Structure 1
Amino acid sequence: MMKFKNILGILAISAVAMTTVSCSEDTMDRINKDNGHPSAEFVDAKFQLTDAIVSSVFTTNGGSFAWYVSSYTEQLFGCGNNQLRNAELRNANETAASATFNNEWDGTYLSLNNIQQMITKCESGANAGQADILGMAQILAAYDWGIMTDMFGNIPCSEAFKASAPKVDSQESIYENINNLLDAAIVNLGKAIDGKMKNAGSQDLLFNGNCSKWRGLAHALKARYLLHKAGRVDDKNTLYTQVLSETDAAIADGFDGALLDVFTGYGAGQTNSWSAYWASREYIASSKTVEDLLIERNDPREPLYNNNEFGTNTIGEPGNEEQAQSIEELNVPAWLDYGFENKQGSHMFSKSELYFIRAEVKTRLEQDAKADFETAVKASLEDYATSCGETFSNDEVAAYLSGVTATKFAANPLSEILVQKYIAQTRDEQLETFNDIRRCKYVDGSYPVTLTNPKNNSSIGNRLPLRLPYGSSDVLSNPNVKEAFGSGNDAGMYIFTENVWWAGGSR
């Protein structure tokens, strides 16, 4: 009997001990769980949408890619202590270095990973059936992949986020992926429109859940990427007709541009990445290449572009070494300062680009492009003015359109369309200008804006790049990217000699 009691006592003590341990483990599990920062699998896809939009506009389209490229296209002048001065002087050691664009390289891949999580959730996960969020995510993926491959050429894509060392895909195959993403987005957004879905709500900083405008953006992007491939097709007229059809569809959906205009960032006011960059470093200024085009046309945008409030009424001459060393000594576009203290939008895709695309392909198809040209220029005039807190009167706009249409456009429609697009995209769309320059040179051997920086073809090795170099994080960690980047004295130097695929290259 005594032994039995002892056994019962031991069992009771063990049970209590086990319960205590169990409770302790449960408690520890709860303590170690970060409820304030749940893992991605537990986050509703609509909340990831906000970050994906901001990152696509702020990091991918408006970070170092654009700041450097604005010097390459001569839409802005690079100056200051290092970065943009080196870009302006075409310093090959910086231009071809893997560290130069690593932050934006990493930032965009992080964004793409976030977007892929959204797609997976909406296809088969917690947000399955939310066709509106799925379509939006597919558009953002296409947008980010488009910028990455346009800037870098062949990049990791199909195995990204799946393999420890993803292979480097061809640009041609990435463009197929982009087209497939946009086609799928158009279908999904059609389902969302039919189903009156409103899953995004205020998390959609672009269109506040308007699925028709999102679908319009998909069509606009299809037009852009089809146009990029013009040099790679034999039947260009068929391609241009397809481009025009996509712009028709975008307009039918009510698309009139995608502008991120509700981002609170640097400083006390609302700003965009360009204004934040200028306010913190002052590495950019106005360029004589743009200024000459504006003066030649008696353009009302000229005093907004060549603003002397902070300079000494001096404008940057491309490649000028003395000026490139300076800070606070050159004129800057007025929107850089205005955007620092005020709400100012940043483009994902502007209304003017859509209508410039229409005007270009109509001209190439020998159709009347005057109305589309005027719509595009008018949209740019409004964008310049709004971005600087100014307005142009109806009479000013009408007079300018009448003058430029009767002279420059009448003399050479295609040339003036591309020049006006160059001026329009000086505001914050320089990446697409870089694409236009490379595309047109491959399609017909020319581009109407003459780049004058003497360092573009320097005998000491400084020159104009044809693309950007891979980010150092992948050059160091992915042997496939490392091989493509090169080694020794040849590391990164391919950017000066090898065009991207749609510009006639093989990588």
Structure 2
Amino acid sequence: MKKYILSVLSIAFLGLTSCTEDIMDDINKDNQHPAPENVSAALQLTDAIMATGFSTVSGDYAFYLSSLNEQEIGIGNNQLMRAELRNSSEWAASTTFNNVWNATYGNLMNIRQMIDKINTGTQGNAGKYDLLGMAQVLEALNFGVLTDMHGDIPYSEALLGQENLQPKLDAQKDVYAGILKTLEEAISNLEKGKDLESAGNQDIAFKNDNEQWMATAYALKARYLIHQLAVTEDRNALLTEVKAAAGKAVELGFKGFMIKEFNGVTCDNPWSAYLWSRYYIASSKTVADLMGSDDPRFTYYTYETGESYTPGDETVAQVADGSLAFPEWYDLGTQPLHLFSVSELYFILAEAKLRLNEDATSEFQKAVTASISEILGWCEDDSDASAYVNSLGTPTLKTLFEQKYIAQCTDEQVETYNDLRRLKAMGESYVVLTNPYNTQGGVNRYPERLPYGNSSVLSNPNISSVYGDGYYIYTEKTWINGGK
């Protein structure tokens, strides 16, 4: 009898083991959605654009940097209060930017799948050169933000999935070379596919306007060239390249790379969603003072109160009830989200011309006008901005960077951070930051870069060895800003 029972238990155990093995074989399979290889590349484009805008360009990077740049004040008696008071642990923690680190690499995986499908011609994607160019533009932009924020990043060995779970860090100089090469390939593919409309209704940025995608590629080329101005050996040669790329974007009629709506429905702007859910930002005195009351944007930047707040004010930083003035445009929710604005393009072109000792008045005025006109339009204000723009006179580098700083306090804080560090590396300073906590006890507490994401710090020794305790962010500059 005992032998019979043992036999039955043995059979049952073997059956259970077999069942468990079957379950383990399937546990990591997503049976609710089609496999990525079975999805057309075009159907991945909308998500690629949305994720670029909502996570990478106007997500945690921009929210935190708005405080660091003093374009807004961090408040709320929580994370942004600690950011405002330059809490060293808040800025250096690998958890602070983990979500956007993961989201950006996740989006890049989606984009790389698009590229691979078109290159291999799987699932009917062969010959979709226009779509390939779009994906390459988005890849360049996402990798550009990552390397600008963190310096050396996983690049050549990234996005390989199970093939390489611990990719090496590539030097920022090499990442930049790769980004510019990708943009050249994008331009070539967009030209080759100029008569195609492969994206269908998935192109929420330009609705299959191939020339606008090409203009965006040239605009990005100008951006990533001028970022290298502090470390180039021949500045005039580089500036000539910048001028040519930006000029080509203008020639193609660049209208701005933006997200306005999704399938005819206006999207809630991420800045608005952020404000409504947390009330973590208020108007900065640094911006308000640069504007002055004559600036048509001043009224809306201070929400028609004229009030703004001093960076680093502990009392202000602790306010958590939404009672402080903040930029009125964040309360709209319907304003478009910039991935690359018309204003930025003209500021880049104006800078290149100024540094080449050429007249940049027209480009400067177009840059400022684009910024003011957008904000007045959002707020249904039909005032004429021309008198104010003309009053700024012939631009100098100081007035140019002051106006660029003001223009980018809407949703382009990432690029302002890049500008401030680049100018510092060049020995130039046009916007004076006043937060007293930027230096504490004689020690710098203004990050030279942002820390890597926690997921990679914990799982990738190539990254954890560089991260250490995170305090490297205060001492080690990125390559484009004069570091290694």
TM, length-normalised to structure 2: 0.90
The aligned amino acid for 2:329 is W
Structure-1 residue corresponding to 2:324: 330
Structure-1 residue corresponding to 2:432: 450
Query: For the residues of structure 2 that align with 1:36 and 1:165, how far apart are their CA atoms?
Result: 29
The aligned amino acid for 1:337 is D
Deviations 1:457-481 (CA, angstroms, capped at 9, x unpaired): 1118671111110000000011111
Query: Among 449, 457, 478, which residue is 1:467 paired with?
Result: 449
Percentage of pairs with the same residue: 48
Deviations 1:260-315 (CA, angstroms, capped at 9, x unpaired): 101499xx9741110000000000111000000111x6201001001157xxx642
Query: For the residues of structure 1 that align with 2:442 and 2:421, how far apart are their CA atoms?
Result: 23
Query: For the residues of structure 2 that align with 1:270 and 1:184, how far apart are their CA atoms?
Result: 31
Query: For the residues of structure 2 that align with 1:447 and 1:346, how far apart are their CA atoms?
Result: 28
The aligned amino acid for 1:419 is E
**Deviation, structure 1 residue 81:** 2.6
Asked whether 1:318 is paired with 2:300, we answer: no
Structure-2 residue corresponding to 1:278: 275
Counterparts of 1:129-144 in structure 2, within 5 Å, are 129-144=127-142
Does the 8 Å contact 2:373/2:385 carry over to 1? no
The aligned amino acid for 1:363 is L
Counterparts of 1:32-431 in structure 2, within 5 Å, are 37-126=33-122, 127-162=125-160, 163-193=164-194, 196-263=195-262, 270-295=267-292, 298-307=294-303, 314-327=307-320, 328-339=322-333, 343-387=334-378, 389-393=379-383, 396-405=384-393, 409=395, 413-431=396-414
Runs of 4+ in structure 1 deviating by more than 6 angstroms, as ranges, are 32-35
Query: For the residues of structure 1 that align with 2:341 and 2:266, how far apart are their CA atoms?
Result: 24
Does the 8 Å contact 2:260/2:266 carry over to 1? no
Query: For the residues of structure 1 that align with 2:307 and 2:210, how far apart are their CA atoms?
Result: 47
Query: For the residues of structure 1 that align with 2:230 and 2:159, how far apart are their CA atoms?
Result: 32
Does the 8 Å contact 1:112/1:144 carry over to 2? yes
Rg larger in structure:
1
The aligned amino acid for 1:283 is Y
Asked whether 1:503 is paired with 2:481, we answer: yes
Q: Could you say what secondary structure the match of 2:385 adopts?
A: helix
Counterparts of 1:466-485 in structure 2, within 5 Å, are 466-485=448-467
Does the 8 Å contact 1:186/1:218 carry over to 2? yes
The aligned amino acid for 1:379 is A
Q: Could you say what secondary structure the match of 1:467 adopts?
A: coil
Deviations 1:62-118 (CA, angstroms, capped at 9, x unpaired): 111000001110000000031110110000011000000000000000000000000
Structure 2: any 5+ residue segments left out of the alignment?
A: 1-27
Deviations 1:124-154 (CA, angstroms, capped at 9, x unpaired): 1321210011000000000000000000000
Query: For the residues of structure 2 that align with 1:263 and 1:208, how far apart are their CA atoms?
Result: 11
Q: Could you say what secondary structure the match of 2:133 adopts?
A: helix
Query: For the residues of structure 2 that align with 1:146 and 1:216, how far apart are their CA atoms?
Result: 17
Structure-1 residue corresponding to 2:17: none
Query: For the residues of structure 2 that align with 1:161 and 1:258, how far apart are their CA atoms?
Result: 25
Query: For the residues of structure 2 that align with 1:205 and 1:460, how far apart are their CA atoms?
Result: 49
Q: Could you say what secondary structure the match of 2:96 adopts?
A: coil
Query: For the residues of structure 2 that align with 1:499 and 1:335, how far apart are their CA atoms?
Result: 34
**Deviation, structure 1 residue 33:** 9.6
Query: For the residues of structure 2 that align with 1:402 and 1:218, how far apart are their CA atoms?
Result: 31
Does the 8 Å contact 1:91/1:462 carry over to 2? no
Corresponding residue pairs, total: 451
Q: Kindly tell me: are residues 484 and 458 of structure 1, through their superposed partners in 2, closer, same or farther at Cα, counting changes over 3 Å? A: same
When structure 1 is superposed on structure 2, of 167-176 and 33-42 the one drifting more is 33-42
**Deviation, structure 1 residue 234:** 1.6
Does the 8 Å contact 1:314/1:329 carry over to 2? no
Q: Could you say what secondary structure the match of 2:258 adopts?
A: strand
Does the 8 Å contact 1:92/1:461 carry over to 2? no
Two-structure CA RMSD over aligned residues (Å) = 1.8
Does the 8 Å contact 1:308/1:330 carry over to 2? no
**Deviation, structure 1 residue 161:** 2.1
The aligned amino acid for 1:398 is S
Q: Kindly tell me: are residues 211 and 36 of structure 1, through their superposed partners in 2, closer, same or farther at Cα, counting changes over 3 Å? A: farther
Query: For the residues of structure 2 that align with 1:137 and 1:438, how far apart are their CA atoms?
Result: 29
Does the 8 Å contact 1:57/1:346 carry over to 2? yes
Structure 1: any 5+ residue segments left out of the alignment?
A: 1-31
**Deviation, structure 1 residue 232:** 1.3
